[in-house]
Chains A and B, each alone.
Chain A
Amino acid sequence: MTVFLTLVVIALFGITLWQMSKILKLSQAKTDNSQVANDKDNNLQGKLMLAFVIFLYLLTIYCFVQYDSYFLPESASEHGVDYDRLMLISMVLIMIVQILTQGLLHFFSYKYRGKKENKALFFADNDKLEFIWTIIPVIVLAGLIIYGLFTWTDIMNIDEEDGDPLIVELYAYQFDWRARYSGEDNELGKANVRFIEGINTLGLDVSDTYGKDDKITNELHLPVNRKVIFKMRSQDVLHSAYMPFFRAQMNVVPGMITEFAYTPTVTSDEMRNSEFMVEKVATINKIRREKSKKLVAAGDEALEEYTFEYYLLCNKICGVSHYNMQMKIIVESEEDYKAWLKTQPTFGEQLSAQASN
């Protein structure tokens, strides 16, 4: 693949050099040395404009076909379905406009390339035309705005009373994440960085009884089809909790608690075995095996085989290891989730375990 891409670039460079030499030859042959474009230049450049828009179309097609597997798979959250639909509508719309306007722009450049005997049309104004291309964007954008705003309000309307949402705290610090489950009472205990001491790394208020049954973990397990409300807290600088498969993102801001909520609908297993993901992971593992061969030849360890897991990434520049601040997310059935949660110690247990040491 890389070889092919490199060849394409080399070929393009070659064409440029060839054109360059051609242009230089042309310029030497004639006596016109004014450095102002003449008919010959206009002719060549006009044709190149047409060639360029073809290049642009080919590039577009190439990218959509070749990078098809780059697009994220179908959303693993409830609101993500709306998100994806809005994205599709917007994408189709802008691609239509893109193809039409780029076509016109470059085609006109080609068609009306200057000739000495030609006369340009003195055409300075046309209220009707201008009205048309003002009103069309107005209508289209109004539609997009209204659709977008409805979706936005739905996503951002976080109601703790509605249904039985799970409340989880996401805690960010340079350079890792922690999750805090609210325990039996589904109520997070109070916390502040000023309480951080020893094993109390999240700064829970030990005098707050709500906090005693909280569970602090370094993996995020979520039961499928139950709404989860994230309360986010940062210990030091800005971070951003980015969960691309769930179409979810919110900044984590020191000094305040930010929120985001969604309902996961696809378990990790289902996603792993989806057609898209099987194919994607196979491609990735093929690449990794090839890399491993080189590594082993050089005396290094081979790369591990990759299996898909959902992840949460930090998406706000936060320091030197920003690029490696991630947490695993596992979406599983209610029973599996409960079984896992049972194995995790509560904050109260952690404290007394330490006290008894």
Chain B
Amino acid sequence: MSVTQGDNHDHDHDDHGHHKETFITKYIFSQDHKMISKQYLITGLIMGIIGIAMSLLFRMQLAWPDHQFTIYEILLGKFGEDGIMDPGIYLALVTIHGTIMVFFVLTAGLSGTFSNLLIPLQIGARDMASGFLNMISYWLFFLSSVIMVLSLFAEAGPASAGWTIYPPLSALPQAIGGSGTGMTLWLVSMAIFIASSLLGSLNYVVTVINLRTKGMSMTRLPLTIWAFFVTAIIGIVSFPVLLSAALLLIMDRSFGTSFYLSDIYIQGEVLHNQGGSPVLFEHLFWFLGHPEVYIVLLPALGITSEIIATNARKPIFGYRAMVASILAIAFLSTIVWGHHMFVSGMNPFLGSVFTFTTLLIAIPSAVKAFNYITTLWKGNLQFNPAMLFSIGLVSTFITGGLTGIILGDSTLDINVHDTYFVVAHFHLVMGISALYGLFAGVYHWFPKMYGKMMNKNLGYVHFWITAIGAYGVFFPMHFVGMAGLPRRYYTNSNFPYFDDLTDTNVLITIFAIFAAVGQLVFLYNFISSIFYGKKAVQNPWKSNTLEWTTPVEHMHGNWPGDIPHVHRWPYDYSKTNENGEYVIAGQDFVSQIIPLQEGEEEMHH
């Protein structure tokens, strides 16, 4: 495919769909973006179940440190003997929970699923630019997931240096058991994951730039596509840096180099390493680590923009401002990484610079939040489950984002750094928000993925349990953090000063269990709807975007005939003529494929 094809690229895929497909090429090594997106989703959900289950285990330990739970012995084996959790495995659970949720669920499971599903469908392309690379990308992700899960069974325990794997702790098996085989597997898995992510991202960027259908100018792209496109770019910019960080760490671990290690005396022995600095690792890690937050969050924001507009029956407010915010956030996200390192020992002047850039990022974020709220104003809101999750996202994005103003300020960070305040902040702003984006996306595009409808009432129950649970867990957690309680403590009972926090820890854990049980409603709904759901109609949500012009039954190539041309932006909801009548009589939406009507004015394009 090349840029010059212009008009006639509509036709050159028409013979697709007539290939003879075997079970293997259709369901396993599929090159069809719709199938790959389903593979991403299901792999991501399975990883999500593992990640959430882990969080329940360590939350139980925090709430009832003196209690013995047989479940520890069942699930953790020798690390949970007699129902007492080993302090090492506690750290391992925290580490792997973070890794799995950030990378495997929210990066691959969210962005992988919906970029794959929506990019070709919403820009009017037959498939991704390279179906083959796309397939490789998924299978590398699958491989890395398998290795990450396997690492749980390492003899001395899985990686346990925190998901940020700061050396020397992560580099020295003498320092903690998990830094042996467990850490090696972690690094191998992540290296493969990065390769997968890069192949995927390159594909998304090329596809968005080259394969848009006729009339689909950049300013007519749905905000979902803008979000996926920009996410892919920051992924390409920052993931390679994590790979370098990991490579240098591998060398320090296995080949005796001293990139991160210097002047270490451990287990009665002086190591030969000299001249390295752990601060270097922190810089490299957070150069990815911070954009990663937005790699997780932007797709969720894109998804909710689309869903809120559709379900409010209104255009998204300030389309251009929304695009500008996405671009500004993406740009700023690459120059704020130092706010994770205010007290790392780096030069305090750098701290000032990073405070400045960090607080700047609040501006486009605020614009986005206000624009969402204005989109709801005077709408005709249709509370489908996807809409509830989207509003929930705006809510947690605001709550979590506001505390960022405290953490992003180098002065204030001094005393809340690495306390539960941080844990509460980032779980709300990126964890819960991105999960809401994922759920919203699944509810909204389920008809497109499986041709069936999910049960809406179970969806409502799922949302309300999750919403109450999420705030119940993370709101009180801020206060635990303000008390100065450090994160990653196996138990808080070694300091009498924290004894009065026990009740709150119990409360948080009860809410966590409550919220986790609520997810079973989703799982049941998801699986049963695939098989027994009501058959979907072509455009159940009365949406304008192109994916709803394709037939319900999947076909390779997406559209049976020619690819439709685009004549307008995707947000002509409730647009009226001067006489107050809808542009198309009796219908409050105008699909992108419908030409401008007589006397109709186009929105700024």
B265 touches A148 (CB 8 A): no
B454 touches A35 (CB 8 A): yes
Query: Contact check: which of A5, A69, A137 meets B507 at CB < 8 Å?
Result: A5
A152 touches B352 (CB 8 A): yes
Q: Which of A261-318 contact B (CB under 8 A)?
A: 280, 283-284, 287-288, 303, 306, 308, 311, 313-318
Q: How far is the CB of B457 from chain A (nearest CB, A)?
A: 5
A94 touches B345 (CB 8 A): no
Q: What is the CA–CA distance of A70 and B359 in the complex, to the nearest angstrom? A: 27
Q: How far is the CB of B393 from chain A (nearest CB, A)?
A: 11
Whether, in the assembled complex, B181 has its beta carbon less than 8 Å from a beta carbon of chain A, the answer is: no
B406 touches A254 (CB 8 A): no
Q: Which of A244-266 contact B (CB under 8 A)?
A: 244, 247-251, 253-256, 258
Q: What is the CA–CA distance of A114 and B595 in the complex, to the nearest angstrom? A: 28
B380 touches A112 (CB 8 A): yes
B355 touches A145 (CB 8 A): yes
Minimal Cβ-Cβ distance residue in B for A75: B415
Whether, in the assembled complex, B1 has its beta carbon less than 8 Å from a beta carbon of chain A, the answer is: no
Q: A60-B475, A194-B270 are in contact. Are A42 and B415 (CB under 8 A)?
A: no
A5 touches B376 (CB 8 A): no
Q: A137-B363, A311-B495 are in contact. Are A122 and B576 (CB under 8 A)?
A: yes
Q: How far is the CB of A232 from chain B (nearest CB, A)?
A: 8
Q: A5-B503, A90-B412, A194-B270 are in contact. Are A35 and B455 (CB under 8 A)?
A: yes
A120 touches B497 (CB 8 A): no
Whether, in the assembled complex, A207 has its beta carbon less than 8 Å from a beta carbon of chain B, the answer is: no
Whether, in the assembled complex, A59 has its beta carbon less than 8 Å from a beta carbon of chain B, the answer is: yes
Query: Contact check: which of B264, B360, B371, B382 meets A235 at CB < 8 Å?
Result: B264
Q: Mark B538-574, 1 if CB is under 8 A from A, else 0.
A: 0011000000000000000000000000000001011
B479 touches A67 (CB 8 A): yes
Q: What is the CA–CA distance of A82 and B360 in the complex, to the nearest angstrom? A: 23
Minimal Cβ-Cβ distance residue in A for B367: A134
Q: What is the CA–CA distance of A345 and B575 in the complex, to the nearest angstrom? A: 85
Query: Contact check: which of B315, B352, B464, B492 meets A123 at CB < 8 Å?
Result: B315
Q: What is the CA–CA distance of A42 and B379 in the complex, to the nearest angstrom? A: 12
Q: Which of B252-286 contact A (CB under 8 A)?
A: 261-266, 270, 274-279
Whether, in the assembled complex, B42 has its beta carbon less than 8 Å from a beta carbon of chain A, the answer is: no
- Which residues of A have CB within 8 Å of B533? 35
Q: Mark A141-169, 1 if CB is under 8 A from B, else 0.
A: 10011001101110111000000000000
Whether, in the assembled complex, A1 has its beta carbon less than 8 Å from a beta carbon of chain B, the answer is: yes
A120 touches B345 (CB 8 A): no
A83 touches B461 (CB 8 A): no
Q: How far is the CB of B58 from chain A (nearest CB, A)?
A: 12
Q: A145-B359, A152-B411 are in contact. Are A5 and B169 (CB under 8 A)?
A: no
B314 touches A122 (CB 8 A): yes
Interface size class of A (residues with CB under 8 A): 35 or more
B483 touches A70 (CB 8 A): yes
B373 touches A112 (CB 8 A): no
Q: A37-B383, A72-B483, A83-B411 are in contact. Are A240 and B87 (CB under 8 A)?
A: no
Whether, in the assembled complex, A27 has its beta carbon less than 8 Å from a beta carbon of chain B, the answer is: yes
A254 touches B264 (CB 8 A): yes
A120 touches B379 (CB 8 A): yes
A5 touches B510 (CB 8 A): yes
Query: Contact check: which of A6, A19, A148 meets B409 at CB < 8 Å?
Result: A148
B87 touches A320 (CB 8 A): yes
Whether, in the assembled complex, A29 has its beta carbon less than 8 Å from a beta carbon of chain B, the answer is: no
B496 touches A63 (CB 8 A): no
Whether, in the assembled complex, B486 has its beta carbon less than 8 Å from a beta carbon of chain A, the answer is: yes
Q: How far is the CB of A307 from chain B (nearest CB, A)?
A: 9
Query: Contact check: which of A115, A253, A314 meets B279 at CB < 8 Å?
Result: A253
B415 touches A109 (CB 8 A): no
Q: Which of B351-372 contact A (CB under 8 A)?
A: 351-352, 355-356, 359-360, 362-363, 366-367, 369-372
Q: What is the CA–CA distance of A130 and B325 in the complex, to the nearest angstrom? A: 12
Among the 9-residue stretches A215-223, A321-329, A334-342, the one with 4 or more Cβ atoms under 8 Å from chain B is: A321-329
Whether, in the assembled complex, A81 has its beta carbon less than 8 Å from a beta carbon of chain B, the answer is: no
Query: Contact check: which of B402, B457, B510, B540 meets A6 at CB < 8 Å?
Result: B510
A24, A101, A118, most chain B CB atoms within 10 A: A101
Q: How far is the CB of A248 from chain B (nearest CB, A)?
A: 7
- Which residues of A have CB within 8 Å of B236? none
Among the 9-residue stretches A45-53, A176-184, A346-354, the one with 4 or more Cβ atoms under 8 Å from chain B is: A45-53
B319 touches A114 (CB 8 A): no
- Which residues of A have CB within 8 Å of B359? 141, 144-145
Q: A72-B484, A306-B496 are in contact. Are A152 and B351 (CB under 8 A)?
A: yes
Query: Contact check: which of B377, B465, B603 meets A112 at CB < 8 Å?
Result: B377
- Which residues of B have CB within 8 Å of A137? 362-363, 366-367
B381 touches A35 (CB 8 A): no
Whether, in the assembled complex, B488 has its beta carbon less than 8 Å from a beta carbon of chain A, the answer is: yes
A42, A45, A130, most chain B CB atoms within 10 A: A45
A70 touches B479 (CB 8 A): yes
A94 touches B461 (CB 8 A): no
B471 touches A59 (CB 8 A): yes
Kindly list the 3 A-B residue pairs having the minimum CB-CB distance in the complex, ordered from nearest: A255-B262, A244-B484, A156-B348
19 A-B residue pairs with Cβ-Cβ distance under 8 Å, sorted by A, are A12-B468, A52-B467, A60-B475, A71-B482, A83-B414, A102-B395, A106-B391, A113-B383, A119-B380, A120-B312, A152-B410, A193-B265, A196-B265, A242-B417, A254-B261, A255-B276, A256-B277, A315-B486, A323-B488
Q: Which residues of A contact B (CB under 8 A)?
A: 1-2, 5-6, 9, 12-13, 16, 19-20, 23-24, 27, 33-37, 41-42, 45-46, 48-49, 52, 55-56, 59-60, 63, 67, 69-72, 82-83, 86-87, 90-91, 93-94, 97-98, 101-102, 104-106, 108-109, 112-115, 118-126, 129-130, 133-134, 137-138, 141, 144-145, 148-149, 151-153, 155-157, 173-174, 192-194, 196, 203, 235-238, 240, 242, 244, 247-251, 253-256, 258, 280, 283-284, 287-288, 303, 306, 308, 311, 313-324, 326
Q: Which residues of B contact A (CB under 8 A)?
A: 86-88, 91, 161-162, 166-169, 172, 175-177, 261-266, 270, 274-279, 312-321, 343-345, 348, 351-352, 355-356, 359-360, 362-363, 366-367, 369-374, 376-384, 387-388, 391, 394-395, 398-399, 402-403, 405-406, 409-412, 414-415, 417-419, 453-457, 460-461, 464-465, 467-468, 471-472, 475-476, 478-480, 482-484, 486, 488-492, 494-497, 499-504, 506-507, 510-511, 514, 533-534, 537, 540-541, 571, 573-576, 588, 603-604
